[in-house]
């Protein structure tokens, strides 16, 4: 900016006002603004994003955190559609997207609150109280997907689907077809994720309502791979 200001014979504050919208108290004429833009173009001036971020304490970057993210191209297109939806909104509003494939659960604040991100979309947020307590202390906003709905009024936003209702519909369909040995299949790594827990509970309840026999976790009709 100093080079542009010197070549245009103006102050750096005037350059900042014209090129970055800074210096709200500075007034620059249209003629002088056009001159500054022409000089900046001639000198191939580009804003230093890192310097601007340090000055404004803004990174315009949102992280998307997946637990156990791998093999995205091998399974259903859910993750692909999710990322497409997130990116379409972020990019339209001038934000960048960073994928966080894993996190140090012993240092959640250090992993997320180090100043690199302005917010986090956390997919399959764990239910454990320790993680939730740490999230309350994280200095950036978090939106949790497929997570347990909060009951204590915490600030974290949750986006959930009706897993229990979905399992009820699935069991009802198979039951009406005459099937009675209905298994619940899940991946071992998904065991503790909120959506898998909710689906197991929904499965148990749906089977119990129809068979009259209460089921517990560890049913012989759980299949793990």
How many other β-carbons are positioned within 10 Å of the β-carbon of residue 176? 8
How many other β-carbons are positioned within 10 Å of the β-carbon of residue 35? 17
State the residue for tokens 């006002």: 17
In the CATH scheme, what is the homologous superfamily, with its name and number, of domain 61-159? Answer: Response regulator (3.40.50.2300)
pLDDT given for residue 177 in this prediction: 93
Q: Please tell me the distance from the alpha carbon of residue 129 to that of residue 126, in angstroms, as a whole number.
A: 9
Q: Please tell me the distance from the alpha carbon of residue 135 to that of residue 114, in angstroms, as a whole number.
A: 14
pLDDT given for residue 17 in this prediction: 82
- Is 192's pLDDT higher than 80? no
Beta bridge partners of 186: 224
Name residues whose C-beta falls within 8 Å of residue 201's C-beta, 6 or more positions apart in sequence: 164
- Is 48's pLDDT higher than 70? no
**163-224 has which CATH code?**
3.40.50.2300
Q: Do domains 61-159 and 163-224 have the same CATH topology?
A: yes
Q: Residue ranges per domain, the chain?
A: 2-47, 61-159, 163-224
DSSP string, 153-185: --S-EEE---HHHHHHHHHHHHHHTT-----EE
94-128 pLDDT per residue, tens: 888 888 766 666 666 666 766 678 888 887 666 56
Residue, of 49 and 18, whose pLDDT is higher: 18
Beta bridge partners of 120: 63, 142
State the residue for tokens 């001639």: 42
Torsion, Cα of 77, 81, 82, 85 (10° steps):
180
151-162 pLDDT per residue, tens: 555 556 778 788
Instruction: Kindly report the CATH class assigned to 2-47.
Output: mainly alpha
């Amino acid at each position: 900016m100093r080079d542009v200001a010197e070549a245009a014979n103006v102050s750096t504050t005037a350059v900042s006002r014209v090129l970055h919208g800074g210096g709200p108290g500075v007034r620059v004429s249209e003629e002088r603004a056009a001159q500054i833009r022409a000089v900046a173009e001639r000198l191939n001036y580009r804003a230093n994003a890192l310097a601007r971020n340090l000055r404004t304490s803004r990174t315009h970057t949102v992280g998307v955190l997946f637990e156990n993210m791998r093999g995205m191209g091998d399974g259903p297109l859910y993750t692909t559609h999710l990322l497409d939806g997130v990116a379409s909104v972020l990019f339209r509003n001038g934000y960048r997207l960073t994928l966080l494939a894993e996190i140090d659960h012993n240092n959640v604040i250090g992993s997320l609150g180090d100043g690199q991100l302005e917010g986090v979309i956390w997919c399959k947020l764990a239910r454990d109280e320790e993680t939730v307590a740490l999230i309350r202390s994280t200095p950036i906003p978090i939106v949790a997907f497929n997570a347990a709905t909060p009951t204590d009024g915490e600030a974290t936003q949750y986006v959930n689907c009706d897993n229990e209702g979905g399992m009820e519909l699935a069991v009802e369909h198979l039951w009406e077809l005459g099937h009675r040995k209905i298994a619940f299949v899940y991946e071992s790594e998904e065991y503790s994720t909120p959506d898998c827990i909710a689906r197991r509970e929904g499965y148990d309840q749906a089977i119990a309502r129809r068979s009259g026999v209460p089921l517990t976790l560890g049913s012989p009709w759980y299949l793990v791979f």
